[in-house]
Structure 1
Amino acid sequence: MNDYTMTPAERRATWGLGAVFSLRMLGMFMVLPVLTTWGMALQGASETLIGLAIGIYGLTQAVFQIPFGLLSDRIGRKPLIVGGLLIFVLGSVIAALSESIWGVILGRALQGSGAIAAAVMALLSDLTREQNRTKAMAFIGVSFGITFALAMVLGPIVTQAFGLHGLFWMIALLAALAVIITLVLVPDAGDHRLNRESGMVKGCFRQVLANPKLLKLNFGIMCLHIMLMSTFVALPTELAHAGLPAVNHWKVYLCTMLLAFISVVPLIIYAEVKRRMKRVFVGCVALLLVAEIVLWGSGSGFWMLVAGVQIFFIAFNLMEAILPSLISKESPAGYKGTAMGVYSTSQFLGVAIGGSLGGWLAGHYDTQVVFLFGTFLAAVWLSVSVTMQEPPYVSSLRVELPHTVLDDVTLSQRLLAAPGVSEAIVVPQERSAYIKIDSKVTNRFEIEQLIQKHA
């Protein structure tokens, strides 16, 4: 029960689903640094439509993210994951065969329609034990960051070698490989266990949407991805104007990403271990504001652009690590999975708004106005972030309950009375207790011992 070593099946599930998630996101992100430059050769292309092509996958992903997650409870995780990946392959093939920007827009919309992220997390939850689930989820989170960095570097290299159509064919092959991994390497789940820590629950959305602390965080992730997508509408054009050919843009992304990864690690440790999360969070938003100001004032000066990109990616990578941690801390016990579902939807809405609005601003004004808009948005976000309170430094636990305590009406009170426990709810029909603990005071083993003592 308290064995914290992953079994071979758990390792297989973690690596397999991590690979599936990464291959899909790699295909999604490789388009970002190249579509603004190479995409202008497509029939009917304009800055506005390029922005729409960049962002539209976020709109369809936002629409289907929660329904696909709930649907996986009915039809099974793996069938839905395979189905979503096949839709992604179809979208990639349509984009690869198209000579028109509208074909690429349709392909990108289909790519986003295969919204499998929630189903991947739910299957990972089914295939790992409670004590190892955090490690498995953390692996997926780390793989996301690495995948994004790889996509920024590989996108321009692949497009230079094979063209934009070749890039979409490679994306289709990556998604097809993810289908094979899902069918061959990922174990089958014996049953679907409802886990409110990783899965969404229909009746919980109202409380999550009404929570002001979670609303501020959801607004934050939306702002972050609006800035990311609008930046990638403008940045490739600005780098080209500064004298760096599109084929060499990957060098800028490689250097800035490497420095960003190195820079954020001590800041993440400081925020979590020293419990200075709000200070780091507000500083991070301020850094995004500085980055947008530098990009706006660069005037196509190469080294000013590089400085702006470097500051932006330090802040972006740090925020991508901090925001999910804050959602976990601020979500009420038993609501984490639903809170993460709403958070992901907000993220993809930001993708849709950022790409579309960035393209419209670049098409009707110029790329500098895109950075000016980013400056304004960062300033608004900063004014919201300073009103945030220091988060509770707690971890979320789900503990499976033995049959002997399911009728114990005093269990939640006894759990709340334990040192280090701030919240506890017992859901007898799910045979689960959802608990928020201060990990410096107590741990899973002590909570399980407390429950067993009265079993």
Structure 2
Amino acid sequence: MQSDALNPIEKRTAISLSLVFALRMLGLFMIMPVFAIYGQHLIGYSPIWVGFAIGAYGLTQALLQIPAGMLSDKYGRRPIIFAGLVIFAIGSLVAAYSDSVYGVTAGRALQGAGAIASAVLALAADVTREEQRPKTMGMIGISIGLAFAVAMVAGPVLAPIIGLHGLFLITAAGALTGIAIIHFMVPHVISRAPRGETVAIPALLGKLAKDPQLLRLNAGIFILHMALTAMFVVLPLQLQKMQLAAAIHWHLYLPALLISFLLIIPMLIIAARKDMNRQFYLFAILLMAISLAAMAMTSQSLILMFICVLLYFTAFNFLEASLPAFISMLAPAGAKGSAMGIYSTYQFLGAFCGGILGGLSYKLLGSSGLFLCLAGVMLLWLFISWGMHNPSKICTHTYTTDIQDENHAALLTEKLLTLEGVLEVVIIIEEQTVYIKINKQIFALEKAKEILANT
């Protein structure tokens, strides 16, 4: 009998890789709530260049995320992760010692070139059992959310004391700490999860990019991170105009984030238990549109702005937690790694475009105009997402078994497809791997295992 809990090796892997992810994302996020204010002394400062500097990492992340994952499949996870963290640290130092906004932008782009997300997730998949993999991925996802929350507080608290220079040095130190964590804490297990579960496969990318259900989700993560980045080009300046000193912006961010985390817990639980993921997903998009529209009409009251930010963070955190799970559920059998690679590319490209949109819109329309523009984009997202299937009932099981030849694979496929609840079967003979996409409410797991053992 296999335990339903993570074993000691899996726990070490989940905790250590979550720390690496959190340290890296903390450095990327920490600059967002403070750069528009504390970057004003930099040569070449302007709202447009604020947007470029905040979003620059997204462009290089988007371009290199899939190639880095493929390289990790060829040369090993650790070398690619080590190289990515070194590049990230160098980018942080470039930004720290730049006296112009152009140098900071170049440093941020170099930070993004250390695109290790896909390699880290692949390493997590390699070291964990298939049935425990969602827990590990969930812990990594939670670490990103916590990093965002800490960054929203740490940036405004530390920037008045150590400046942007100090924030970037902390980011570089975090990257080097990540290298030590990977080397000393992550178990050196000789294992490799099936490629379809971990990294992008070039032959599948074109087909997946056109899948209507995945395309809706990819558009969603693009818009979500575009709006987040664009908002933080102007929100710190708006709060300053409302007589909230930059050093205490965290007084608004921290309670809003903490309350939002409390609010999304029942949302996530009810959505899962009642098979209402689609309904809550659409509600969160609408809530974000309402919060942004309300921000546009709030220029005097800090209490009203707090409520707007609270609603925004509640919607953002729910969507940020839900989207990766939906991608995993709706991805074709054997193509989860490729689907996640495309998803990550859209995510980081959204951050880059958000920086540009924020800078341009603030210069042309002001803060209220930008918030209204973003609210309109949210309504467009709501329209795009309306035809999304409910992903609650769908998941993919992965099995490693002895597959003798094509005839044997065809026989296995035929028998598995007769089982109630099986939606799709994909068998990769070279990897000795069977992917079964199922309706988990009516699928009989033991019958599938019996067929695999006896056929």
Instruction: Determine if contact 1:330/1:392 at 8 Å carries over to the other structure.
Output: no
State the distance in 2 between where 1:443 and 1:10 align: 27
* SS of the residue 2:34 aligns to: helix
CA contact (8 A) 2:51 2:356 kept: yes
Letter in 1 for 2:19: A
Partner of 2:171 in structure 1? 171
Deviation at 1:392, TM superposition (A): 5.9
- Worse-superposed segment, 139-148 or 1-10: 1-10
Matched ranges for 1:74-113 at <5 A: 74-113=74-113
Structure 1 residues 123 and 366, CA gap change in structure 2 (3 angstroms): same
Q: Is 104-113 or 183-192 further displaced after alignment?
A: 183-192
Instruction: Report if the CA contact (8 A) 1:65-1:341 is conserved.
Output: yes
Residues 30 and 152 in structure 1, CA contact (< 8 A), matched pair in contact too: yes
The reply on whether 1:426 has 2:434 as its aligned counterpart is no
Letter in 2 for 1:359: G
Distance 1:444-1:164 versus aligned 2 partners, 3 A rule: farther
Separation in 1, partners of 2:294, 2:313: 13
Within 2, Cα distance between the matches of 1:418 and 1:66?
A: 35
> Closer, same or farther in 2 for the Cα pair 1:277/1:334, shift >3 Å?
same
Pick which of 189-198 and 266-275 moved more. 189-198
- Equivalent position of 1:409 in the other structure: 410
Give the aligned partner of residue 187 of structure 1.
187
For 1:120 and 1:71, the matched residues in 2 are separated by 12
Shift of 1:403: 4.7
Q: What CA distance in whole angstroms lies between the structure 2 residues aligned with 1:142 and 1:445?
A: 31
Cross-structure match for 1:339 = 339
Moved more, 95-104 or 78-87: 95-104
Q: What is the aligned partner in structure 2 of residue 436 from structure 1? A: 437
Cα contact 2:80–2:119 (8 A) shared by 1: yes
> Residue 333 of structure 2 contacts residue 424 of structure 2 at CA under 8 Å; is this kept in 1?
yes
Matches for 1:443-454 after TM superposition, within 5 Å: 444-454=445-455
Aligned-pair CA distance for 1:9: 2.1
Cα deviation 1:107-128 (Å, max 9, x = unaligned):
1000001000000011111111
> Which residue of 2 is the match for residue 21 of structure 1?
21
C-alpha separation in 2, matches of 1:424 and 1:51 = 45
Cα distance in structure 2, aligned partners of 1:235 and 1:323: 25
Q: What letter matches 1:451 in structure 2?
A: L
Query: Can you give the 5+ residue segments of structure 1 that lack an aligned partner in the other structure?
Result: none
Which segment drifts farther, 436-445 or 133-142? 436-445
Deviation of 1:258 (Å)? 0.6
Higher mean Cα deviation, 116-125 or 387-396? 387-396
**What is the distance in 2 between the residues matched to 1:324 and 1:80?**
23
| C-alpha spacing 1:97/1:443, structure 2 compared with 1 (3 Å) | farther
Query: Could you state the TM-score of these two structures normalised by the residue count of structure 1?
Result: 0.96
Would the aligned equivalents of 1:197 and 1:396 in 2 still touch at CA under 8 Å? no
Match of 1:57 in 2: 57
Q: How far did 1:150 drift?
A: 1.0
Normalising by structure 2, report the TM-score: 0.96
Q: Distance in 1 between matches of 2:219 and 2:299?
A: 30
CA deviation vs aligned residue, 1:220-248 (integer Å, no higher than 9, x gap):
11111111111111110111111110000
CA distance in 2, matches of 1:319, 1:176: 31
- Give, in angstroms, the shift of residue 52 of structure 1: 0.5
Residue identity over aligned pairs, in percent, reads: 38
Alignment RMSD (CA, Å)? 1.7
SS of 1:33's partner is: coil
What secondary structure sits across from 2:398 in the alignment? strand
Structure-to-structure mapping, 1:283-298, within 5 angstroms: 283-298=283-298
Task: Report the equivalent of 2:139.
Answer: 139
Equivalent AA in structure 1 for residue 109 of structure 2: A
| Cα distance between partner residues in 2 of 1:324 and 1:213 | 13
CA-CA distance at 1:22 after TM superposition: 1.0
8 A contact 1:159–1:167 mirrored in 2: yes
Q: Measure how far apart 1:444 and its partner are.
A: 4.8
CA distance in 2, matches of 1:31, 1:420: 47
The answer to whether 1:271 aligns with 2:305 is no
1:438 to partner: Cα distance:
2.8
In 1: Cα distance, 2:357 partner to 2:6 partner? 45
Q: Secondary structure at the match of 1:366?
A: helix
C-alpha separation in 1, matches of 2:145 and 2:424: 31
**Secondary structure of residue in 2 paired with 1:178:** helix
Q: Could you tell which deviates more after superposition, 271-280 or 296-305?
A: 296-305
CA-to-partner distance for each residue in 1:110-152, whole Å, 9 max, x for gaps?
A: 0001000000011111111222212111111111111111111
In 2: Cα distance, 1:177 partner to 1:444 partner: 42
Q: 1:351, 1:137 → 2: CA distance?
A: 22
Unaligned runs of at least 5 residues, structure 2: none
Partners in 1 of 2:123 and 2:162 — Cα distance? 35
Q: CA deviation at 1:419?
A: 2.6
Structure 1 residue 390 displacement after superposition: 3.1
Residue 372 of structure 1 pairs with residue 390 of structure 2: no
1:48 partnered with 2:48: yes
Q: Is this contact kept in 1: 2:55–2:352, CA < 8 A?
A: yes
Partner of 1:230: 230
Letter in 2 for 1:325: A
Matched residues in 2 for 1:180 and 1:421: separation?
44
Show the counterpart of 1:115: 115
The amino acid of 2:65's aligned partner reads: Q
- Of 297-306 and 142-151, the range deviating more from structure 2: 297-306
- Asked whether the 8 Å contact 1:238–1:300 carries over to 2, the reply is no
* 1:221 aligned partner: 221
Corresponding position of 2:353: 353
Whether contact under 8 Å (1:294, 1:307) holds in the other structure is: no
Letter matched to residue 161 of structure 1: I
